[in-house]
Every structure is written in C-alpha cells, then in structure tokens.
Chain A
Amino acid sequence: MKVLQVIDTAYRCTIEEQDDPVVWITHVMKGAGGDLSLLLVNYAVKGQDASGLAFGDRKQSQPPHIDRDIQKLASKGVPVYLIQEDLAERGIRPDELVDGVERIGRSSVAGLFGKFDHIWHW
C-alpha cells in the first residue's frame, strides 16, 4: 500500500504538540513499515524558528522544528513533494528549502496522485 499524505493545513497545533501531527504520524507509520510520501508547502523552508514562547514562568523549552522533522523524513526515504507554483506565490526561493525535497508543477499533481493507492488529505 502506497499512501500520499497531503498536509493542507500548516501550523496546526504545532506549538502545543512541538511538532506537526501529520509529519509526526508519518514518521511513526514509516517506522512501522509504511510506504508513505508527503505533499506540503511552507514546512520545507529552512530556519523556521518558533522558540521563545513563555507564559508566566513556564517556558517552552522544546519548540517545534518542522524543517528538521521534514529533513529527517526525507533522509528516511520518505519522498517530500512541493508544488512549484505554491512556492512562487509565497515568495519562497529554492535555496530556502531543506535538502531532499522535490518540486513539481501544479499540472503534475494529478499524475502524482495516480501513483498512490491512497491519498490521505489532512
């Protein structure tokens, strides 16, 4: 079974969870033997910094590092796809992206979907 995880909603509870729940579950299912890929947008930008949060004297010591988690997924052999037009619309340059991600054109998305048994749209 091949599954493409589509992360449609970025920064969903990332501060509370200290990660993205779909990126996290992809890591765990990959560890359980799953054959997964990922399609996303903003998370692949290097150097995102969510540190510094504190409420009163309670500081968040482990802020999310989504770019690190994406990089780790790619290094585990999980293909990570980005849509070129989405990047351009947001002014994200290729040199700002983590290593190992693949940019595809919007017109290629249907073909990409066709390569998977399941599309899980989160």
Chain B
Amino acid sequence: MADKKTLTFSIMDAPYENARTVTALRLIDIAAKRGYNVNVFAYEGAVALSFTKQAAHPNAVHDHDVDQEDHPLPNEWIAAILRSAEAKGGKVDWINCGLCVDERGVNESVVGTRRGTPGDLWKAAAASDGTLVIGAK
C-alpha cells in the first residue's frame, strides 16, 4: 500500500473509567482495519488496558449470569485489534510504559504488546504521519 499511513496514539486513562478509552480504541481500530501501521503508547492507568487477568463478571441488575452478560474486557478488544491489523496487512505496536506497569502490578499483558519508555513514544511520533495524545483529565 503506497499510501499506508503510520499513526501514533498516546492514551492515559485506566480501563472502565472514561469514555475516552472507548473513543481511543475506536480510532485505533479504524486505523487497523484500514491496514495502517499504528503505534500506541499506553501511559499511566492505560497500561492496565492490556492486562490479561481482567475477569468478566455476572450482572444481577441485568439478571445475567457471567455468560449472559458477556462482559467486554479491554484486553480482549486489544487482542482483537492486533489480529485485525495483522489480517489487513498493518501492524499495531502496543507499548506499555514499563514503570507504569510495575507501579500497578499489571505485568501480564496481551501477547503482541510490549514494555517501553517515553523515548519509544518520541521515536514513534517522529516517524508517524500523525500523533494524537489523549490525556486523562
């Protein structure tokens, strides 16, 4: 793809806290489905998005057991985005801030994601067609 774009996102919100997370994942998903190369630098609470020990739960308010509720887990969304990118000929380089991971004890991360540093964000942004920072507020 001659016009393949490379986009970089930095996200900061923890899972299950803010609509910004879903919005960011929508943008990343669209880019992946277009076959773009995408870099994601997960900073602070966002490193927990790819944590593999997230667990679905039942929801008594909905009268649903765990299967009926089919609760979405951000790590599953991220794994799906990575698969989608690969199927479309692109790549998602999902980088978790290593110190932020250690602070939160969320070392178990989706296969295909990796640890990194803010220097990786800088390099990714410098090599990208566009960069969007979505900070926690």
Contacts and interface: CB of A to CB of B under 8 A. Distances in A.
Residue among A25, A28, A118 with the highest chain B CB neighbour number at 10 A = A25
A21 interface: yes
B82 interface: no
Interface stretch (B32-40, B56-64, B128-136): B128-136
B97 to A, nearest CB: 8
Interface in A19-45: 21-22, 25, 28-29, 31-34
A95 interface: no
Interface residues of A, number: 19
**In which size bucket is the chain B interface?**
10 to 19
A122 B118 contact: no
A21 B122 contact: no
Interface string B114-137: 000111011101100001010111
A121 B134 CA distance: 7
Interface of B: 10, 12, 43-44, 117-119, 121-123, 125-126, 131, 133, 135-137
Interface of A: 1, 3, 8-9, 12-13, 21-22, 25, 28-29, 31-34, 118, 120-122
